């Protein structure tokens, strides 16, 4: 921050937008509107600490664009939160909601604080204080918060409780990320992994591949990966290799079985964090290979479902020539250099932003159910998720094909276009 | 009572009959003796009603006579009569007067109701005649005793009777004393005169001089001449003059109180005598203590000085001879508490043993907490598990009984010999027999303890001493204690024998040798303690246990102060909390700030919650470590205090379980102790106890504790121990400015990080200026690679803000624990930005990993006033990043790697951290002077550790010198790695690099020759430190081609960092390779 050239996430998000705006040839007014948030709130939250002293925390909420519906986005508790980070994330939320075509805009919020230094009571006071400051400017029809960095279902319940106390009625649709039975939605655990495979299924169709004739290699064995594999296997596919982090050895390993992994078997020897017990895996006939081995397997599909920056310019060359699809379950698993390699080799990339949108779609479903106070069975949630993800995918791939765009760019173009259109329809620009 | 006792012994020591009436006479003597003993028994207790006692004596008499069926007895005393129901005042009788203080108070008569048969020498045997007078004698003493005690009581009662008649009370009482016990009277009078003299009463001084013969005792004399003795005429003290004098100067109340106290003290004197005598055995002390309890109703009736002397002696005899300990302990214990202790102590008849450190520490802590109970929240009752103690010298008795005395010399043997012989020694001990009195004691203990599992712990006299943290050097053994009494007794003996053998184990002996404690006579107390817990399925375990420290050395938030303390809490047995376990995490709580937790998010809390549990398996009689999930699935419903220990993990949330609906087999549970921390007074109580103990003992403490789900038990208490690396370092004040790399004055923990050879410095300013995220990620990745390349635990990572920052990585370098796990020190730098200073992470992202692997953490605030931060050095020293990580050369601006010896002409970076002062300093110093930073109070020689590399280095030199360059075609020999870097541990190998030029045959011969060395060295290493390896040499053979290509290990030669060091071969140093 000392130099003017320092990395600024908001500037980066604007640059990304500018690139898409150029592709769309957007007019200056629309660009000006979308380059910045519609509204920003910055406020103080005084909290009586456990030791009796008062400490004042800084809170934010940025509502980037609500042309398509109430803004939606997480609340972060972060010790060095900056308004620019929040702005960038709010903008990304606008595009993310638009790409899966759910009627929501983008927002983000946060409080500068470190929960490591706060007791639960103090955190509760911050949550309630945050809502008190914004009670009139958020709500189920205005702006819907959700959990994010260092916040969880508990924080959401505190906030909801405060909001309802202020407004004197029940508004479960005010916030998402609630536990099942307290206004949460079934199917949330499965949503991201299943959503990934719904798009994968469509991609296979498009490439003329039958799922039962394909095989895949997956990085990560957490929630997303496990449910993605589950659904992929139901479609008839076979997973040859998964990798995961080994907490004890502080490194990652790949687990390979050429006849295909048995998901149920692997799950039984996996801890809560997706760490597979390597001794037990070996006993069950899995080859234990170095962590990066998942990437070089002879498979049709790669699903990076772990961390960002995993497929890089350095290792992308090692991807087997058989690979046709990379479905990004993680956020930003592919670096720009790697992107270029994939593009050159004609590998079909389902971009993160679309591929892992199952989560945000399910949040939208939670809000819908909360608003009507009627909660669906899991099948209904997942069925509706399938419809949303499939049509989102089709729109993106259709555009990519028609305009000869890389999938990632096509997804952005669609998203920005939808938002721009809504602004115009409303007569804003 | 001494005089009375003498009479008793007299009767017994009469010359035995020497003539022919042998057998019958002996039988008669036996009867007489039994009679006397019975009477003696009755007279021991002076508090019984006189009626009961005399009636008992009358019943006890006939069996002692030759014709018991004819024998009757009568006692007349002070106008009253007690007699056998059909007593007849027949002519066949004998009487003896009962004399109390030279007055005849009554008489005792023994009569036969009719003429006995065979009464040639009169109706009674000689012995019987003597017996009557002995009994009369005893009765006389007994009555005197009673009178005295009544006197004392009367004194007491008079005191209660308002102040109107105190004068009469003390005068009357004193007169009674004068009549009944002249000696006591004289002692009282003497004390009174002394007291008056000390109080400055001139007349008393004159009185003393007047009665002191020549009357000039007060004159000034040179100090170095013996003072003239003032003979004190006893007559003077027999009169009333001293008290008349007192009456003039002191109030009646005071005189009364003084006399009463002196009389009590007089009564307690025998105990003081027993305690002061080095000859008295534990048995004698126990007896004296019991008598004392009967005589002196409350400690408070004695003067402070007498009490203190008695307590000091008791502590000295039972607990420890350490003066520091005695000084503290005597303020907190009651004399009576020792009696409870004695009841559960097992010792040889003539024992002079002690309890040992562990037992003593626990005893003292319990006493302190009992006294302070009212001040603790919720009136917390502190329980200790039922315990038995084996006195320390029982070990010697055991050895003597088995002729194992020569084992004592064992400790003076070479350590490798000790190690070799130790397994044999253990078996020897286990096969030895216990002396009967110890077997008896253990058997009684087992009856008392029942069949609950036991822990048998060593309680050495060296253990837990201030400054000598001997913990873990001796054994603690768990016993399931199941089966028949005989099986249980055998298992207990086996365990005690093993504990005894551990005194001579190689590790304690080496440890003692290093600290100059070898010559200390090592007696070992043993503590046999019931294991706290309940049965769960086939297992036995406490609901939770742990260790608590009154000072927190691992603060994870700047809001936590050192005084907030630290608790390490685990489910099950506390073994997993006491030691750092590499594969699991205890729950950390700062009792002063219980809600500020090291882990905040649900994922963190679950990840760093205990996954394993130590239990006793009652079926296999074994100590076991189980997966917690396995135990819960098997018998979770029975787990004690389930709702306090576990939280349910559901929907990205931790729920405190509510009521009966919790099904441990179905739900995912995490041991968070949330219910215990939030809903129970546990943390507040423990915190109060820690503070109380720290205050009373005058030093920070650590305690071990456990709970069966209902009650809280204290298991151990000792001065807070430090791992060797977390002792407070002394901070030198006179370091030249240019040698200081940084100083710190905020949130400093204890630590001593010696000899850092490398610094990895991420320049905060440049890092903040990085333009894109990719470069920031790259910095993290480069750090991860350096972590693997740089010498382990010999480098420091210094970087901006928050190491391990996730999400917004502008705040700190994005690394995971695996990227930093080899560092010795993690430093976070908070540079002022505009008008604010960013918050640091305190290592929270991997805090518990840091704690468990002893990586030190230090926050730096360079912009604070008075803080030195040698930025010029950090930015100016040559950066070797491009050389060791060419692929990351582009990061050289922001990421700097400093080879400290190379940059400073051979110095290293040493970091000294002192939490007491809240100060730390990082300075450049000559390597190897490791001890410089240690406090003098803790003269820990790290000889053992240093030895490992030194010895290896010498061996490497030796091999090089012995190598035949021609025969093997050797050009040069180099040493590198831990042997060269002086970091070798017991399990390290010796890395050799051998440059050869020659054919395969020569090379094979060389390899064979080296293999021989390798085998021998491995064996030697085993004997030195007990570390078993197949080979000790790790030889890398390189050729000219390797060197030309700078291939494989050849790069070590002349490397920029951590270069291999050439060794002289055949007296010639290797030519440096260009």
Assess whether B621 and B707 both reside in one domain. Answer: yes
Q: Quick check: B949 and B989 in contact, CB under 8 A? A: no
Residue B232 pLDDT: 56
Is residue B164 situated within a structural domain?
no
The complex's ipTM works out to: 0.74
Assess whether B833 and B898 both reside in one domain. Answer: yes
Q: What is the mean pLDDT of residues B652-656?
A: 82
Q: How far apart are CA B978 and CA B259, in angstroms?
A: 76
pLDDT of B488-513, one tens digit each? 999 999 999 988 888 888 777 777 77
E-strand stretches of B339-441: 345-346, 387-390
Which of A96-110, B245-259, B730-744, B851-865 shows the lowest mean pLDDT across its residues? B245-259
Whether residue A12 and residue B593 make contact (CB cut-off 8 A), yes or no, is no
CA-based nearest distance A1→chain B, Å:
5
* Residue A152 region by backbone torsions, left for phi larger than 0, else alpha for psi between -120 and 50, else beta: beta
pLDDT of B766-785, one tens digit each? 888 887 778 888 898 899 88
Query: And the tokens for B121?
Result: 């020498």
Is residue B328 situated within a structural domain?
no
The set of catalytic residues of A is: 108
Comparing alpha-carbon positions, the chain A residue that sits nearest to B597 is A116
**Within an 8 Å CB–CB cutoff, is residue A28 touching chain B?**
no
Residue B162 pLDDT: 47
Nearest of B1027, B932, B1015 to residue B984 by alpha carbon: B1027
Using pLDDT thresholds of 50, 70 and 90, give the confidence band for residue B205: confident
**Alpha-carbon separation of residue B1074 from B590, B798, B970, B1046, B1055 (angstroms):** 58, 34, 18, 11, 11
Assess whether B645 and B590 both reside in one domain. Answer: yes
A188-355 adopts what CATH topology?
Rossmann fold (3.40.50)
Whether residue B557 and residue A7 make contact (CB cut-off 8 A), yes or no, is no
Determine phi and psi for B90, rounding to 5 degrees.
Answer: -80, 170
Q: What is the mean pLDDT of residues B586-605?
A: 86
Assess whether B737 and B714 both reside in one domain. Answer: no
Point out the residue among B595, B775, B839 whose CB comes nearest to the CB of A50. Answer: B595
Q: How many CA atoms lie within 13 Å of B965's alpha carbon, on the beta-carbon side?
A: 14
Buried b / exposed e over B23-36, threshold 16 CB at 10 Å, is: eebeebbebbeebb
Residue B153 pLDDT: 64
**Within an 8 Å CB–CB cutoff, is residue A15 touching chain B?**
no
Q: How far apart are CA B125 and CA A358, in angstroms?
A: 113
Share of chain B above pLDDT 90, in %: 13
A314 contacts in B (CB within 8 Å)?
none
At residue A376's C-alpha, the angle toward residues A371 and A379, to 5°, is 145
Residues of chain A with CATH 3.40.50.720: 188-355
A179 contacts in B (CB within 8 Å)?
650-653
**Within an 8 Å CB–CB cutoff, is residue A234 touching chain B?**
no
Query: Of the candidates B487, B510, B531, which is a domain's last residue?
Result: B531
Residue B11 pLDDT: 35
Cα-Cα-Cα-Cα torsion B47, B51, B55, B56, nearest 10 degrees, comes to -10
Residue B84 pLDDT: 86
Residue B318 pLDDT: 83
B199 or B441, greater pLDDT = B441
Point out the residue among A6, A85, A251 whose CB comes nearest to the CB of B818. Answer: A251
Mean pLDDT for chain B overall: 80
pLDDT of B665-674, one tens digit each? 778 889 999 9
Q: By residue range, what is the domain housing residue B825?
A: 724-938
At residue B819's C-alpha, the angle toward residues B813 and B820, to 5°, is 85
Whether residue B602 and residue A152 make contact (CB cut-off 8 A), yes or no, is yes
Looking at the structure of chain B, the number of domains it has is 5
Is residue B203 situated within a structural domain?
no
Assess whether B696 and B590 both reside in one domain. Answer: yes
Q: How far apart are CA A391 and CA A379, in angstroms?
A: 18
CA-based nearest distance B1021→chain A, Å:
28
The CATH number given to whatever domain includes residue B634 is 3.30.470.20
**pLDDT at residue B1071 tops 80:** no
Q: What dotted CATH number matches A39-173?
A: 3.40.50.10860
* Residue B250 region by backbone torsions, left for phi larger than 0, else alpha for psi between -120 and 50, else beta: beta
Cβ neighbours around B374 below 10 Å, total? 7
Residue B660 pLDDT: 62
Query: Of the candidates B659, B688, B719, which is a domain's last residue?
Result: B719
> Where do the H-state alpha helices sit in A80-152?
83-99, 120-134
Is residue B233 situated within a structural domain?
no
Instruction: Please spell the DSSP secondary structure of B97-144, one letter per residue.
Output: EEEETTEEEEEEEEEESSPPS--TT-SS-HHHHHHHHHHHHHHHHHHH
B276 or B1008, greater pLDDT = B1008
CA-based nearest distance A122→chain B, Å:
9
Which of A35-39, A373-377, B26-30, B867-871 shows the lowest mean pLDDT across its residues? B26-30
Whether residue A272 and residue B596 make contact (CB cut-off 8 A), yes or no, is no
Assess whether B414 and B511 both reside in one domain. Answer: yes
A154 contacts in B (CB within 8 Å)?
653-654
Query: Which residues is A253 bridged to in the sheet?
Result: A244, A290
B1071 or B899, greater pLDDT = B899
Point out the residue among B583, B593, B808 whose CB comes nearest to the CB of A78. Answer: B808
**pLDDT at residue B1056 tops 70:** no
Whether residue B583 and residue A119 make contact (CB cut-off 8 A), yes or no, is no
Using pLDDT thresholds of 50, 70 and 90, give the confidence band for residue B195: confident
B195 or A225, greater pLDDT = A225
Q: Quick check: B657 and B643 in contact, CB under 8 A? A: yes
B816 contacts in A (CB within 8 Å)?
250
Is residue B804 situated within a structural domain?
yes
Q: Quick check: B258 and B195 in contact, CB under 8 A? A: yes
Whether residue A7 and residue B771 make contact (CB cut-off 8 A), yes or no, is yes
Point out the residue among A79, A80, A250 whose CB comes nearest to the CB of B818. Answer: A250
Whether residue B600 and residue A150 make contact (CB cut-off 8 A), yes or no, is yes
Q: Quick check: A233 and A266 in contact, CB under 8 A? A: no
Q: What is the mean pLDDT of residues B604-608?
A: 85
Assess whether B854 and B758 both reside in one domain. Answer: yes
Is residue B870 situated within a structural domain?
yes
Residues of chain A with CATH 3.40.50.10860: 39-173
Residue B406 pLDDT: 76
Q: What is the mean pLDDT of residues B592-613?
A: 86
Assess whether B923 and B892 both reside in one domain. Answer: yes
Assess whether B441 and B579 both reside in one domain. Answer: no
H or E element in which residue B535 lies: strand B534-536
CA-based nearest distance B803→chain A, Å:
13
Fill in the DSSP letter of residue B1054. Answer: T
- Which of A5, A116, A315 would best serve as a mutation to test chain B binding (most B beta carbons within 10 A)? A116
CA-based nearest distance A113→chain B, Å:
9
Is residue B46 situated within a structural domain?
yes
pLDDT of B93-140, one tens digit each? 888 898 876 778 888 999 888 888 765 567 787 778 888 888 888 888
Q: How far apart are CA A344 and CA A428, in angstroms?
A: 40
Assess whether B894 and B977 both reside in one domain. Answer: no
Q: A24: Cβ–Cβ under 8 A, 6 or more apart, which residues?
A: A413, A416, A417, A420
Assess whether B705 and B740 both reside in one domain. Answer: no
Whether residue A117 and residue B817 make contact (CB cut-off 8 A), yes or no, is no
- Which of A51, A75, A80 would best serve as a mutation to test chain B binding (most B beta carbons within 10 A)? A80
Query: Of the candidates B150, B174, B205, which is a domain's last residue?
Result: B150
Is residue B265 situated within a structural domain?
no
Cα-Cα-Cα-Cα torsion B889, B890, B891, B892, nearest 10 degrees, comes to 60
The A residues from 315 to 334 touching B (CB cutoff 8 Å) are none
CA-based nearest distance B670→chain A, Å:
11
Q: How far apart are CA B527 and CA B458, in angstroms?
A: 6
* Residue B998 region by backbone torsions, left for phi larger than 0, else alpha for psi between -120 and 50, else beta: left
Segments of chain A with pLDDT less than 70: 1-7
Assess whether B581 and B667 both reside in one domain. Answer: yes
Point out the residue among A117, A177, A250 whose CB comes nearest to the CB of B559. Answer: A117
Comparing alpha-carbon positions, the chain B residue that sits nearest to A337 is B774
Nearest of A179, A175, A188, A189 to residue A71 by alpha carbon: A175
Fill in the DSSP letter of residue B17. Answer: P
Using pLDDT thresholds of 50, 70 and 90, give the confidence band for residue B1047: low
Query: Is the dihedral angle over the CA atoms A232, A233, A236, A239 positive or is it negative?
Result: positive
Q: Are strands B566-571 and B544-549 parallel, antiparallel or unpaired?
A: antiparallel
């Amino acid at each position: 921050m000392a130099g003017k050239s320092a990395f600024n996430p908001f500037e980066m998000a604007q640059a990304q937008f500018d690139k898409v705006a150029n592709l769309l040839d957007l007019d200056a007014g629309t660009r000006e509107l979308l380059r910045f948030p519609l509204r920003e709130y910055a406020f103080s939250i005084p909290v009586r600490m456990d030791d009796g002293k008062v400490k004042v925390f800084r809170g934010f909420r940025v509502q980037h664009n609500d042309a398509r519906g109430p803004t939606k986005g997480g609340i972060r508790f972060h010790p060095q939160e900056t308004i620019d980070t929040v702005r960038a994330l709010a903008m990304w939320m606008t595009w993310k909601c638009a790409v899966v075509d759910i009627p929501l805009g983008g927002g983000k919020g946060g409080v500068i604080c470190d929960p490591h230094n706060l007791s639960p009571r103090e955190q509760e006071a911050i949550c309630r204080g945050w809502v008190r400051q914004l009670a009139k400017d958020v709500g189920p029809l205005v702006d819907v918060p959700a959990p994010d960095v260092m916040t969880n279902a508990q924080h959401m319940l505190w906030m909801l409780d405060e909001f309802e106390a202020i407004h004197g009625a029940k508004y479960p649709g005010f916030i998402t990320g609630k536990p099942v039975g307290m206004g949460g939605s079934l199917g949330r655990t499965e949503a991201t992994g299943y959503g990934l495979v719904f798009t994968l299924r469509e991609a296979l169709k498009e490439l003329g591949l039958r799922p039962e004739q394909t095989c895949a290699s997956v990085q990560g064995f957490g929630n997303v990966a496990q449910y993605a594999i589950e659904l992929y296997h139901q479609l008839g596919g076979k997973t040859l290799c998964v990798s995961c982090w080994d907490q004890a050895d502080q490194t990652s390993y790949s687990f390979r079985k050429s006849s295909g992994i048995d998901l149920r078997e692997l799950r039984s020897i996996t801890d809560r964090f997706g760490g597979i017990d390597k001794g037990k895996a070996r006993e069950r006939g899995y080859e234990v290979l170095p962590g990066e081995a998942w990437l070089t397997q002879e498979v049709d599909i790669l699903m990076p479902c772990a961390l960002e920056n995993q497929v890089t310019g350095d290792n992308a060359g090692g991807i087997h020539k058989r690979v046709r699809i990379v479905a990004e379950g993680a956020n930003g698993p592919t670096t720009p250099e790697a992107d270029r390699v994939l593009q050159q080799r004609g590998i079909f990339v389902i971009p993160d932003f679309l591929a892992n949108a199952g989560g945000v779609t399910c949040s939208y479903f939670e809000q819908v159910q909360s608003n009507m106070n009627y909660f669906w069975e899991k099948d209904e949630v997942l069925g509706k998720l399938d419809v949303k993800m499939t049509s989102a995918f089709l729109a993106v791939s259709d555009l990519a094909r028609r305009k000869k765009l890389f999938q990632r760019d096509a997804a952005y173009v669609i998203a920005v276009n939808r938002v721009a259109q809504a602004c115009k329809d409303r007569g804003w620009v | 009572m001494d005089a009375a006792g003498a009479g008793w012994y007299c009767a017994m020591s009469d010359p035995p009959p020497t003539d022919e009436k042998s057998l019958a006479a002996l039988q008669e003597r036996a009867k007489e003796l039994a009679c006397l003993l019975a009477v003696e028994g009755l007279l021991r207790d002076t508090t019984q009603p006189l009626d009961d006692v005399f009636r008992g004596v009358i019943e006890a008499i006939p069996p002692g006579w030759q014709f018991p069926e004819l024998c009757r007895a009568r006692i007349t005393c002070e106008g009253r009569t007690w007699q056998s129901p059909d007593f007849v005042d027949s002519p066949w009788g004998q009487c003896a007067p009962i004399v109390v203080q030279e007055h005849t108070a009554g008489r005792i008569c023994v009569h036969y109701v009719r003429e006995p048969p065979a009464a040639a020498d009169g109706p009674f045997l000689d012995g019987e005649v003597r017996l009557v007078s002995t009994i009369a004698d005893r009765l006389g003493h007994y009555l005197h005793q009673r009178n005295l005690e009544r006197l004392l009581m009367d004194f007491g009662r008079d005191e209660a009777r308002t102040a109107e008649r105190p004068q009469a009370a003390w005068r009357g009482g004193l007169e009674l004393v004068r009549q009944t016990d002249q000696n006591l009277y004289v002692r009282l009078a003497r004390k009174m005169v002394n007291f008056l003299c000390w109080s400055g009463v001139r007349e008393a001084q004159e009185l003393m001089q007047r009665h002191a013969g020549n009357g000039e005792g007060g004159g000034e004399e040179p100090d170095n001449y013996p003072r003239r003795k003032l003979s004190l005429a006893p007559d003077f003290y027999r009169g009333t003059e001293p008290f008349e004098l007192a009456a003039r100067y002191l109030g009646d109340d005071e005189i009364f109180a003084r006399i009463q106290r002196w009389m009590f003290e007089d009564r307690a004197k025998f105990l003081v005598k027993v305690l002061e005598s080095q000859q008295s055995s534990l048995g004698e002390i126990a007896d004296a203590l019991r008598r004392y309890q009967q005589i002196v109703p409350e400690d408070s009736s004695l003067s402070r000085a007498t009490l203190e002397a008695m307590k000091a002696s008791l502590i000295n005899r039972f607990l420890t001879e350490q003066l520091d300990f005695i000084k503290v302990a005597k303020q907190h214990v009651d004399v009576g508490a020792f009696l409870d202790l004695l009841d559960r102590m097992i010792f040889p008849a003539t024992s002079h043993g002690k309890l040992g450190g562990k037992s003593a520490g626990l005893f003292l802590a319990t006493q302190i907490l009992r006294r302070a109970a009212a001040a603790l929240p919720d009136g917390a009752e502190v329980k200790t598990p039922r315990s038995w103690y084996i006195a320390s010298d029982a070990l010697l008795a055991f050895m003597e009984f088995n002729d194992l005395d020569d084992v004592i010399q064992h400790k003076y043997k070479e350590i490798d010999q000790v190690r070799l012989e130790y397994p044999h020694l253990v078996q020897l001990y286990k096969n030895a027999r216990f002396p009967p009195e110890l077997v008896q004691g253990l058997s009684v203990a087992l009856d008392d303890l029942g069949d609950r599992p036991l822990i048998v712990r060593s309680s050495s006299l060296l253990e837990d001493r201030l400054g000598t943290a001997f913990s873990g050097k001796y054994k603690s053994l768990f016993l399931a204690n199941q089966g028949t009494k005989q099986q249980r007794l055998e298992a207990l003996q086996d365990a005690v024998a093993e504990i005894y053998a551990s005194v001579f184990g190689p590790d304690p002996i080496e440890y003692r040798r290093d600290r100059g404690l070898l010559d200390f006579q090592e007696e070992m107390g043993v503590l046999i303690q019931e294991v706290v817990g309940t049965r769960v399925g086939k297992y036995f375990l406490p609901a939770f246990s742990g260790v608590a420290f009154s000072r927190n050395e691992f603060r994870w938030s700047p809001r936590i102060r050192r005084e907030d303390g630290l608790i390490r809490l685990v489910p099950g047995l506390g073994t997993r909390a006491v030691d750092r376990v590499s594969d699991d995490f205890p729950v950390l709580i700062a009792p002063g700030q219980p809600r500020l937790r090291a882990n905040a998010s649900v994922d963190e809390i679950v990840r760093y919650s205990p996954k394993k549990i130590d239990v006793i398996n009652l079926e296999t009689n074994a100590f076991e470590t189980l997966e917690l999930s396995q135990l819960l699935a098997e018998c979770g419903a029975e787990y004690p205090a389930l709702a306090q220990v576990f939280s349910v993990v559901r929907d990205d949330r931790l729920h405190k379980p509510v009521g009966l609906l919790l099904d441990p087999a179905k739900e995912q549970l995490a041991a968070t102790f949330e219910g215990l921390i939030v809903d129970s007074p546990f943390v507040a109580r423990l915190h109060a106890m820690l503070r109380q103990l720290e205050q009373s003992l005058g030093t920070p403490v650590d305690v071990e504790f456990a709970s069966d789900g209902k009650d809280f038990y204290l298991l151990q208490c000792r001065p807070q121990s430090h791992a060797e690396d977390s002792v407070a370092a002394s901070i030198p004040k006179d370091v030249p400015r240019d040698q200081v790399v940084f100083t710190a004055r905020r949130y400093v923990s204890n630590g001593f990080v010696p000899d850092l050879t490398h610094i990895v410095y991420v320049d905060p300013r440049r890092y903040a200026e990085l333009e894109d995220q990719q470069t920031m990620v790259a910095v993290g990745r480069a750090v991860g690679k350096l972590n693997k390349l740089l010498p382990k635990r010999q480098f420091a990572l210094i970087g901006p803000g928050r190491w391990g920052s996730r999400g917004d990585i502008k705040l700190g370098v994005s690394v995971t624990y695996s990227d930093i796990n080899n560092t010795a020190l993690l430093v976070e730098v908070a540079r002022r930005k505009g008008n604010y200073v960013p918050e640091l992470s305190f290592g929270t992202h991997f805090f518990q990993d840091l704690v468990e692997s002893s990586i030190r953490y230090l926050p730096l605030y360079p912009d604070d006033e008075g803080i030195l931060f040698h930025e010029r050095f950090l930015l100016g020293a040559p950066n070797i990043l491009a050389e060791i990580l060419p692929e990351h050369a582009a990061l050289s601006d922001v990421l700097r790697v400093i080879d400290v010896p190379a940059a400073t002409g051979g110095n290293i970076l040493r970091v000294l951290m002192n939490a007491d002062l809240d100060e730390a300093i990082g300075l450049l110093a000559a390597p190897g002077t490791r001890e410089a930073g240690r406090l003098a109070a803790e003269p820990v020689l790290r000889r053992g550790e240093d030895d490992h590399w030194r010895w290896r280095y010498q061996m490497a030199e030796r091999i090089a010198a012995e190598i035949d360059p021609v025969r093997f075609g050797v050009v040069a020999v180099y040493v590198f790695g831990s042997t060269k870097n002086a970091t070798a541990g017991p399990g390290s190998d010796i890395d050799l690099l051998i440059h050869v030029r020659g054919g395969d045959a020569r090379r094979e011969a060389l390899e064979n020759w080296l293999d021989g060395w390798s085998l021998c060295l491995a064996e030697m290493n085993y004997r030195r430190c007990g570390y078993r390896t197949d080979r000790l040499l790790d030889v890398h053979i390189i050729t000219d081609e390797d060197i030309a290509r700078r291939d494989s290990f050849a790069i070590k030669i002349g490397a920029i960092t951590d270069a291999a060091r050439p060794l002289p071969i055949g007296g010639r140093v290797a030519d440096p390779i260009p």
